[in-house]
Homo-oligomer: A and B are copies of this chain.
Amino acid sequence: MLGGGPASFIGPVHRIAANLDGLIELVCGCFSSDPSKSKQTGHELCLPEERIYTNYEEMIEAERNLPEEVRMDFLAIVTPNHLHYAPAAMALKAGFHVALDKPVTFSLEEARSLEEIVHQTGKRLLLTHTYSGYPLVKEARYRVQRGDLGRIRRVYVEYPQGWLSTDCAAENKQASWRVDPKRSGLAGCMGDIGTHAFHLASYITGLEVDELCAELNTFVDNRLLDDDGTVMIRYKGGARCLLSASQVCAGVENGLYIRVYGEKGGLEWRQDSPNTMMFRPVEGVAEMIRTSTPSVVSPAAAHNSRVPGGHPEGYIEAFANLYRNFALTLMADIANETPNELCLDFPNVCDGVAGMLFVQKVVESSKQNASWVKWED
């Protein structure tokens, strides 16, 4: 693992999630740019001294020289955005698979370059868009594909948060890099959580963007990046999506919510109540679909659940689903088998490139006073 030292939010989540199913073991790490902090975390995690590294170059180099059965199988990178590309590229070229926290890179150029490296090296890349790991999100995707909703017309996806309502960058490590263009990239809120919303909509509907029109706002004084934004998306084929993301919705925790309406019915799912999804037919009674009940029909939903109906599954399980599918795919690779579709169902470098393109187009539109910009150059 690269990153995830003291005070990291997402590092421990990655570790717990990766560990949950007993398929993945943490064998080495470089947890901080500060060697003493890296050591501290490594010791806490009971790693052997010699596999706690002080920088990623050293780690990749050292690991590649270990015997195949000893060295790490993949590198998980959980650093801020500007520190994704270089270690990912180096790891891939050194023969390691890579798991990356989203967004995939700092810029679209880096993302496209990384995509090329993935294709050249034939290595796998997992991008942890957690929310597509939820069983009912997979159920939603399945039902859209099966045609339960008919042709899709209207998508609403929103991601309100409130934790950046004040100028808290000084005292909050999580905030500080997210609002810093040098570490976060072109966009703040839209890159951090707008990309999750965008990925979720793409994952469920399978629709491709034709053009978009966006407005980014910065409400907190002296903040350099957007902390709020709205995007109108025209999908190819005529469907419309309204995407909003904000980190200044005072008091809101983590309100990711998606609604998809088609000619025949609609689906509604929210991450803070992830074990319930509403299906609304054009006529007739609304159905309350629940995780792990007979109402859930897709093999993907079943494959990504662990407990019987009525026992809530949460964020860690969704996160673990990404790692589990990634690990199952790598295990199939190692066993020289073709990984099945259920295992291959994890976000990859293409999703990463799409996310970075989304950020770039949104920023471009916003700079032109919310005019329409084409998805393809």
Residues on A facing B (Cβ under 8 Å): 9, 12-13, 15-16, 19-22, 26, 45, 149, 153-154, 156, 158, 160-162, 165-166, 213, 215, 217, 219, 228, 230, 232, 238, 240, 242, 244, 246, 248-255, 259, 261-266, 271-275, 278-290, 293-295, 306-317, 369-372
Are A306 and B251 in contact, with the CB atoms below 8 A? Answer: no
Smallest beta-carbon distance A369→chain B, Å: 6
Are A249 and B154 in contact, with the CB atoms below 8 A? Answer: yes
Are B282 and A285 in contact, with the CB atoms below 8 A? Answer: no
Smallest beta-carbon distance A186→chain B, Å: 20
15 A-B residue contacts at CB 8 Å? A16-B21, A22-B26, A153-B248, A154-B228, A215-B232, A219-B238, A230-B232, A230-B240, A246-B261, A250-B261, A250-B282, A251-B261, A285-B293, A313-B314, A314-B317
Nearest residue in B to A283 (C-beta to C-beta)?
Answer: B294
A156 partner residues in chain B, CB cutoff 8 A: 158, 160, 244
Contact status of A309 and B254, CB under 8 A, knowing A294-B283, A370-B213: yes
Contact status of A15 and B19, CB under 8 A, knowing A251-B281, A286-B287, A311-B314: no
A314 partner residues in chain B, CB cutoff 8 A: 275, 307, 311-314, 316-317
Smallest beta-carbon distance A317→chain B, Å: 6
Contact status of A240 and B217, CB under 8 A, knowing A285-B287, A310-B272, A369-B372: yes
Given contacts A153-B228, A287-B288, 19 further A-B contacts (CB under 8 A): A16-B306, A20-B316, A154-B217, A154-B228, A156-B158, A162-B261, A165-B261, A213-B213, A215-B240, A232-B232, A242-B244, A249-B266, A250-B263, A251-B279, A254-B308, A254-B311, A255-B310, A285-B294, A316-B316
Contact status of A312 and B274, CB under 8 A, knowing A162-B280, A288-B288: yes
* C-alpha gap A262/B166 in the complex (Å): 11
A371 partner residues in chain B, CB cutoff 8 A: 371
* C-alpha gap A266/B253 in the complex (Å): 12
Are A293 and B248 in contact, with the CB atoms below 8 A? Answer: no
Are A312 and B271 in contact, with the CB atoms below 8 A? Answer: yes
Smallest beta-carbon distance A282→chain B, Å: 5
A21 partner residues in chain B, CB cutoff 8 A: 16, 19
Contact status of A295 and B285, CB under 8 A, knowing A232-B215, A261-B249, A315-B311: yes
* C-alpha gap A282/B310 in the complex (Å): 15
Are B372 and A372 in contact, with the CB atoms below 8 A? Answer: no
Smallest beta-carbon distance A280→chain B, Å: 2
Contact status of A307 and B316, CB under 8 A, knowing A246-B154, A250-B264, A288-B286: yes
A308 partner residues in chain B, CB cutoff 8 A: 9, 254
A312 partner residues in chain B, CB cutoff 8 A: 271-274, 312, 314-315
* C-alpha gap A15/B21 in the complex (Å): 9
A252 partner residues in chain B, CB cutoff 8 A: 261, 266, 280
A283 partner residues in chain B, CB cutoff 8 A: 294
A248 partner residues in chain B, CB cutoff 8 A: 153-154, 261
A161 partner residues in chain B, CB cutoff 8 A: 310
Contact status of A286 and B19, CB under 8 A, knowing A219-B153, A240-B217, A280-B162: no
Nearest residue in B to A248 (C-beta to C-beta)?
Answer: B153
* C-alpha gap A232/B217 in the complex (Å): 12
Neighbour of A251 across the interface among B215, B219, B254, B265, CB < 8 A = B265
Instruction: Pick the 5 closest A-B CB pairs, nearest first.
Output: A251-B280, A253-B310, A254-B310, A312-B314, A311-B315
Are A251 and B309 in contact, with the CB atoms below 8 A? Answer: no
